[in-house]
Structure 1
């Protein structure tokens, strides 16, 4: 007769709290909708795909935004979302086809898929979610497609007409969790090291004197949206993000991409929150506390001497909160 399998090892109090906190947050996300994340008052700027790419850039800068939903007025349909990645693709097109520069100024937002194809970029899946669907569903869709933001699109069942309601970002969702679940996030006392949260190997880095174009090439080759800026001792000075590219090419000034990262960072808006750091010994509840109080888009992990150790993205945090141990919970 075969021996019975050994009893599973009992959970420690720390593990029990962690599991309880995650379970409660997931339950909260299943009960709340994407509508709930929206502020009481907000503005939405939607760009028509007939708009010139050059003009779209100026609109983003003038309105202090870094993305916008796209609308195809010819068929009255949602057509995707304009982000910094699209401008990176335009820059790559400029570099690969310098003789086409005169045409570039005449390209419209509708041309973005053609630009992707010309440079061999992987098309970004166009996803949206109905605002009344559970927030949990929107998050799962974001993680599956690696989207950092997702438009909320309503559909009139009688006419079949779509309406773009708003856009929710990973940051806004995490903020929503942090603000409304302090009694649950306080249970998440495991450290960054315990959770192996973030990326710690083969990190892309740059110096203040590195050109913007070199950093863009680094982002494209590594498929990342942020590059830590370090000194000769690997101490963290700042971080260059994909959205920092937008003011660099204002008015189609592609030649300025040969300028340094240090110069580009000076073009950030005054309300830019800068970078947030943490250590591997920081607990997840303290990270949620930081998100609750500040506009965090990622955390740079440093040691006691401020030397770079790793990077934690909002995707890393959301993936852990949503998916960690899910198989165990289902058992």
Structure 2
């Protein structure tokens, strides 16, 4: 049976709860990745944060703002710009996912990961050891590349 450790990436980019959203975005862009585990000083998993979490947080709501005397309609573009300026220095702790964090162990069967991918539509799953320390990540892309290579090589 194939194990998670055969597919996982061990060179994991992580952030802490104190990482600013600005720094997170720089990390995601620089590393060309869509999300990272959030860890503490001992590398123990605290949560996950993805580009989708940031986008959902910044999503303009098209709301109206009432002044004492005037009704001001805030355009979505201005609203997004304002929210970006406001949010950029916040810490990832404010928007990271802390609940429903699914993990796998390096020794789990690959099926454990594929089951999570299919049921919850995550793109990346943190791989943790028995003490909840992040030892890798496994992505849908890693699994698809393997399946694709296997199918091609078996023909």
Q: In which range does the TM-score fall when normalised by the shorter chain?
A: 0.7 to 0.9
Change (3 A) 1:323 1:229: same
Would you say the 8 A contact 1:211–1:258 is kept in 2?
Answer: yes
Distance 1:259 1:273 in 2: 20
Aligned 1:119-268 pairs, distance under 5 A: 189-193=1-5, 196-201=6-11, 203-249=12-58, 250=60, 251-252=79-80, 253-255=83-85, 256-265=87-96
Distance 2:51 2:134 in 1: 19
Distance 1:287 1:220 in 2: 25
Q: TM-score, normalised by structure 1?
A: 0.37
TM superposition shift of 1:245:
1.3
Would you say the 8 A contact 1:238–1:274 is kept in 2?
Answer: no
Distance 1:233 1:198 in 2: 20
Q: Which runs of 5+ in 2 are unaligned?
A: 61-78
Would you say the 8 A contact 2:4–2:138 is kept in 1?
Answer: no
Would you say the 8 A contact 1:301–1:308 is kept in 2?
Answer: yes
TM superposition shift of 1:282:
0.6
Would you say the 8 A contact 1:276–1:298 is kept in 2?
Answer: no
Aligned 1:43-122 pairs, distance under 5 A: none
Q: TM-score, normalised by structure 2?
A: 0.76
Tell me the equivalent position of 1:125. none
Aligned residue for 1:216, secondary structure, equals: helix
Deviations 1:188-211 (A, max 9, x none): x21122xx202102x211111110
- Structure with the bigger percentage of helix: 1
Distance 2:23 2:112 in 1: 35
Change (3 A) 1:213 1:317: same
**Structure with more relative contact order (C-alpha pairs < 8 Å, separation 6 or more):** 2
Structure 1 residue ranges, 4+ long, deviating more than 6 angstroms after superposition = none
Tell me the equivalent position of 2:73. none
* Corresponding residue to 1:318 among 104, 125, 144: 144
- Size of the aligned set, in residue pairs, is 133
Q: Which runs of 5+ in 1 are unaligned?
A: 1-188
TM-align CA RMSD: 2.1
